[in-house]
Amino acid sequence: MTEHATRRTKTGLIAAGLALAFLGGCASVDEVAGPAFSGPTGTPIPAFANMKEGSEEDFIMNAGRRTYFRSGSAELDGTAKRTLDKQAAWLNQHPKWFIKLQGHADDPGNNGKLSTQRAENVMNYLVAKGVDPSRMWAKGYAKKRLVRDCPQLTCKSQNRRVVSNLREELEDHVIARRQVAQQ
Amino acid sequence: MRLSRRAFVAGTASAAALAATSPALAQGGQWYAGTAVDGSVTYRTTNFGVVDPRWKRQMVVYNSPEKPGTIVIDTRNHYLYWIWENNTALRYGVGVGKEGFKWYGRARVDRKVLWPRWVPPEAMRKRSPNLPKMVEGGSPKNPLGPRGIYLFANGQDTGYRIHGNTAPWSIGKDASSGCIRMFNEDVIDLYQRTPIGTEVLVLEHLGGQENEGVRMEVKES
């Protein structure tokens, strides 16, 4: 399944069908749901050109959903904190959204652990900035969803990230886990 | 970026009124909307109501084999693209050097600085002897503005930077000394989206040959 195939939004459902048809279900990290756009370079993308305040496109364009990390580190640097400050302000203004924090790593060492730690650090920072923790959950993907795959820094720097993904509802396994925790 | 029609009309109207009543603000006054705080610095925000829509940040179709995450600069047409998947890119309007950009090829972001200090190059100070030796970061007279993104090739500083501005009307024009200037809001935005290690391709224009001018290989680390 692609990221978009699992996204429970109207555009996501359309994208899911298209993505499955065209990509055969390979892992995707797309910012703009596929299939690939056509037309001359410079043609506006309609979903963004006509976006409404509070929409997912608004979040992607005006807050930005990727937070980057240095090699081997899950620490939030000054740039990461500025990104998350913008995300928190936006999320606090638009409380209808849930947020899945997807951690990724392409580093020396244990990428599973590091990617989870990155996602959790982002979540803790957003909580400190007033975002309700019940709206969020964190998951580490290790190296499963690389933006670019090569041994150089040009690739690895793109992969060392957390993507703040908007969702219209909690995932079932998150609800189940929380119910267990309450018992 | 997100201006309601009412805010747009009110913004231009009040800016026009200010410009009309205050000679001091007449020079470029309508280009500023208000102020914002970044870290410990208060800076003037751009009035996008007076900006030609083509220079505003927008998501567009982009046909090229460049990989996601790459910055592509089309110096002739004054656009900077941040490449996404599925033939898309986030496009920003930029201003470039008035003598024409002298350097084309592949570079890499090896250094990023918040509110960088500005040290005018020797050649620039020869042309303009009144320039100071150095302007502190955060000064309203610092033409680099809120962010500096430094382009390196072969591990060496190319001398070129992507930065902010103190003259928003120069975006979309050839009006700086070789560097790539952006709206302050846009360079803040690009800075957070492009980690150290980001690949950069500087082209004379889209569709032009990548090896026009000097092509320099990027030494990978």
**What's the average model confidence in pLDDT over B61-80?**
93
Q: What is the pLDDT of residues A85-141, one digit of tens each?
A: 999 999 999 999 999 999 999 999 999 999 999 999 999 999 999 999 999 999 999
Mean pLDDT, chain B, as a whole number? 82
Residue type present at position A106? D
Using an 8 Å CB-CB cutoff, list chain B residues near A153: 108, 196-197, 220-221
Helices A78-93 and A111-128, axial angle in degrees (round to 10)? 60
Q: Tokens in use for A4?
A: 């978009």
Query: A residues 102-131 near B, CB within 8 Å?
Result: none
- pLDDT band (50, 70, 90) for residue B177: low
**Strand partners for B180:** B162
CB B217 within 8 A of CB B106: yes
Residues of B tagged active-site: 163, 179
Is A133 touching B (CB cutoff 8 A)? no
The minimum CA-CA distance between A68 and chain B, rounded to whole Å, is 7
Task: Choose, out of B40, B41, B60, the residue to mutate when testing the contact with A (most A CBs < 10 Å).
Answer: B60
Q: Which runs of E-coded beta strand occur in chain A?
A: 66-68, 98-103, 136-140, 161-167
Q: Rounded CA gap, A13 and B73, in Å?
A: 34
Task: Choose, out of A18, A56, A59, A79, the residue to mutate when testing the contact with B (most B CBs < 10 Å).
Answer: A79
Using an 8 Å CB-CB cutoff, list chain B residues near A35: 86
Q: Rounded CA gap, A87 and A64, in Å?
A: 7
- pLDDT band (50, 70, 90) for residue B64: confident
Above 60 in pLDDT, residue B9? Answer: no
Q: Are strands B58-61 and A161-167 parallel, antiparallel or unpaired?
A: unpaired
Above 90 in pLDDT, residue B185? Answer: yes
Is A164 touching B (CB cutoff 8 A)? no
Is A172 touching B (CB cutoff 8 A)? no
Q: Can you give the pTM of this predicted structure?
A: 0.83
Of B218, B219, B181, B220, give the one whose Cα is nearest residue B105: B218
Report the pLDDT value the prediction gives residue A11, as an integer from 0 to 100. Answer: 45
Starting from the edge strand earliest in sequence, which strands make up the sheet with A66-68, in order? Answer: A66-68, A161-167, A98-103, A136-140
Per-residue burial over B44-80, b if 16 or more Cβ lie within 10 Å, else e, is: bebbbbbbeeebbbbbbbbbbebbbbbbbbbbebbbb
Q: Are strands B199-203 and B71-74 parallel, antiparallel or unpaired?
A: parallel
Report the pLDDT value the prediction gives residue B153, as an integer from 0 to 100. Answer: 94
Report the pLDDT value the prediction gives residue A35, as an integer from 0 to 100. Answer: 82
Nearest CA in chain B to A64: B193
